């Protein structure tokens, strides 16, 4: 007996870019690209308007700029995205106790475990109501796939994009999968896909016809067995509610290789503080500090130090990362730095004792007099030190006013950074749900202009505290052959 289509996969539509369009009235309906903006930056998300111009995720930002020179290029605002994600995940949690988040904008839900669906009709109703609730609470759209397994539910949500719902009826799985390329199946990447293509298999139908024995011969026993089952539409992986993070980390790729050792250490310490902020936001502590260094020649070094006990003290993590850096040769330049914490745990009283012991050790070390840093000529404080300091100051100013981030002016109110450079920052003053705002330019050191927190995308969201029982059904479009809404 085929399982009922009660596994739901939600995927928010162009999440980062859609959130930026909702927050910035002047960007509605326009091409928006979110990601790293430097020469080595990579696109994180592109709006559907930008995708029509050929821009897509994981593309180098420089290439995106050539394809869409008039698009708005913005630095990610993860505080906003996490806030919206929490709203969405709360709605999912009201549907079922079995919610498996995959990222900020994507999750599986077992509707049957929540008692809200046990057949196609009830599953469709739950999916439609979910989409209605998400739009009312966040102002954004999400695409929903419904099927009897996680694999098929994810395929269905891809077919539903953007802003749709597709339900795969039991018994139609093989017919649906047959013409799809082999890369559609989970675990089939470029290398495996090329290997199968050389063997004459380009569609899922080809895999099913080849048989299990042939697939085992081609890709190995473990992978071949699973691949054959998926080609038949079979996937019995359960929705797992708890996915405990094994580590917390942050990293930065620099537009220009860092050569100054003092600057490298300053960046490591800054990353350590950011890492601890993430650690604390997750109410966790960690025992092992990890440093990642990618050098000018793309060689990557990883060093780690295990502390006496778990900690979330920024001083402890910062000093441990600095000690790890001392053992790394950065001659020739550094293009990427990262700091992470592994061995995560919930805080306990024993953690505090270990942390105090580490802090005491660090305090004793800091009492030793520091040696002056000499330049290449052997003299401290010479002109060779001034250039790195100027460069650091310029990059610090750029970091303070990243494109797309929120600001507040004492006179003009809330706005967002359109761009900065040459001692100036340009701001558009507008808010979510309001009219398109005006643009003004200020000095980067204007005392009346300060960074600000993101505003909610929906000012007065509908109260969904009684979700899902009280939700009205959404108005569906015409039903497609696969059971979803048809989209133009």
pLDDT at position 308, please?
Answer: 85
Contact 325, 266 (CB under 8 A): no
Cα 164 from Cα 479, distance rounded (Å): 11
CA–CA distance, 133 with 141 (Å, rounded to integer)? 10
Instruction: Identify the pLDDT of residue 261.
Output: 92
The answer for residues whose C-beta is within 8 angstroms of residue 309's C-beta and 6 or more apart is: 287, 350, 351, 353, 354, 355, 358
Question: Contact 109/88 with Cβ under 8 angstroms?
Answer: no
Residue 308 backbone dihedrals phi, psi, to 5 degrees: -70, -25
Residue pair 374/261 in contact by the 8 Å Cβ criterion: no
Q: Where are the beta strands (DSSP E) in 214-356?
A: 247-258, 285-295, 300-311, 334-345
Name the token pair of 10: 């939600």
DSSP 93-150: HHH-S-EEEEETTEEEEETGGGTS-SSHHHHHHHHHHHHHHHHHHHS--EEEEEESSH
Q: Dihedral sign, CA of 370, 376, 377, 383?
A: negative
DSSP code, position 149? S
Q: Which helix (H) or strand (E) holds 46?
A: strand 43-46
Structure tokens at 476: 């569906």
Alpha-carbon 97 to chain mean position: 24
Structure tokens that stand for 70 in this block: 């008039």
CB burial of 2-26 (b: ≥16 within 10 Å; e: otherwise) equals: eebbbbbbbbbbbbbbbbbbbbbbb
In 47-127, the DSSP E strands lie at: 72-74, 99-103, 106-110
Torsion angle in degrees (nearest 10) through CA of 173, 126, 488, 13:
-100
Residue from 207, 157, 163, 146 nearest 181 by CA: 207
Annotated binding site: 11, 105
**Is residue 175 a contact partner of residue 155, using CB atoms and an 8 Å limit?**
no
Radius of gyration (C-alpha) of the chain in whole angstroms: 26
Residues 223-272: tens digit of each pLDDT = 899 999 999 999 988 998 876 677 899 998 888 899 999 999 999 999 99
Distance CA 243, CA 249 (A): 17
- Say what angle helices 212-219 and 221-231 make with each other, to 10 degrees: 140
CA 400/CA 397 separation, integer angstroms: 5
Each residue's pLDDT tens digit, 98-137: 999 999 999 999 999 999 999 999 999 999 999 999 999 9
DSSP-assigned letter for residue 372: P
Closest CA relative to residue 46, chosen from 137, 151, 162, 153: 162
Catalytic residue set: 106
Element (H, E) at 21: helix 15-23
- Answer yes or no: are the C-beta atoms of 235 and 149 closer than 8 Å: yes
- Greatest pairwise CA separation for the chain in angstroms: 81
Q: What's the pLDDT at 256?
A: 87
Sheet holding 72-74, edge to edge: 43-46, 32-35, 72-74
For 204-301, where are the alpha helices, taking DSSP H only?
204-210, 212-219, 221-231, 261-281
Residues of the chain predicted below pLDDT 50 = 348-386, 470-488
How many Å apart are CA 427 and CA 449, to the nearest integer? 10
What are the pLDDT digits (tens) for 266-303? 999 999 999 999 888 888 889 999 999 999 888 889 99
Annotated binding site for Mg(2+): 11, 105
pLDDT of res. 210 = 94
């Amino acid at each position: 007996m085929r399982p009922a289509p009660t596994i739901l996969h939600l995927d928010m539509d162009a999440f980062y870019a859609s959130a930026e369009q909702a927050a910035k009235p002047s960007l509605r309906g326009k091409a928006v690209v979110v990601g790293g903006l430097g020469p080595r930056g990579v696109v994180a998300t592109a709006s559907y308007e930008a995708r029509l111009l050929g821009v897509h995720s994981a593309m180098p930002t420089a290439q995106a700029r050539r394809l869409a020179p008039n698009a708005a290029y913005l630095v990610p605002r993860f505080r906003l995205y996490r806030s919206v994600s929490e709203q969405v995940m709360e709605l999912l949690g009201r549907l079922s106790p079995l919610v498996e988040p995959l990222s900020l904008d994507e999750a599986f839900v077992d509707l049957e475990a929540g008692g809200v669906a046990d057949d196609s009709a009830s599953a469709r109703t739950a999916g439609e109501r979910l989409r209605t609730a998400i739009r009312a609470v966040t102002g954004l759209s999400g695409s929903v796939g419904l099927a009897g397994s996680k694999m098929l539910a994810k395929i269905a949500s891809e077919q539903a994009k953007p802003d749709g719902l597709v339900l795969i009826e039991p018994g139609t799985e093989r017919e649906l999968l047959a013409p799809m390329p082999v890369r559609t199946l989970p675990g089939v990447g470029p290398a495996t896909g090329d290997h199968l293509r050389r063997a004459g298999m380009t569609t899922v139908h080809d895999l099913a016809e080849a048989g299990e024995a042939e697939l085992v011969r081609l890709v190995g026993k473990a992978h071949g067995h699973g691949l054959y089952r998926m080609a038949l539409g079979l996937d019995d992986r359960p929705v797992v509610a708890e996915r405990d993070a094994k580590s917390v980390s942050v990293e930065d790729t620099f537009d220009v290789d860092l050569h100054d050792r003092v600057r490298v250490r300053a960046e490591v310490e800054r990353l350590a503080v950011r890492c601890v902020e993430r650690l604390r936001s997750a109410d966790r502590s960690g025992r092992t500090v990890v440093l990642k260094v990618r050098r000018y020649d793309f060689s990557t070094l990883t060093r780690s130090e295990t502390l006496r006990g778990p900690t979330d003290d920024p001083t402890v993590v910062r000093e441990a990362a600095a000690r790890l850096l001392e053992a790394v040769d950065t001659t020739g330049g550094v293009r990427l730095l990262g700091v992470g914490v592994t061995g995560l745990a919930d805080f306990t009283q024993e953690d505090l004792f270990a942390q105090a012991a580490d802090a005491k050790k660090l305090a004793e070390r800091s009492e030793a007099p520091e040696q002056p840093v000499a330049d290449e000529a052997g003299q401290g404080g010479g002109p060779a030190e001034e250039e790195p300091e100027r460069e650091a100051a310029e990059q610090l100013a750029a970091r303070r006013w990243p494109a797309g981030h929120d600001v507040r002016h004492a006179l003009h109110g809330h706005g967002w950074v359109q761009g900065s450079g040459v001692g100036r920052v340009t701001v558009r003053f507008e808010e979510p749900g309001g009219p398109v705002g005006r643009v003004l330019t200020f000095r980067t050191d204007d005392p009346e202009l300060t960074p600000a927190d993101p505003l909610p995308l929906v000012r007065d969201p509908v109260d969904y505290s009684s979700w899902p029982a009280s939700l009205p059904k959404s108005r569906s479009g015409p039903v497609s052959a696969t059971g979803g809404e048809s989209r133009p």
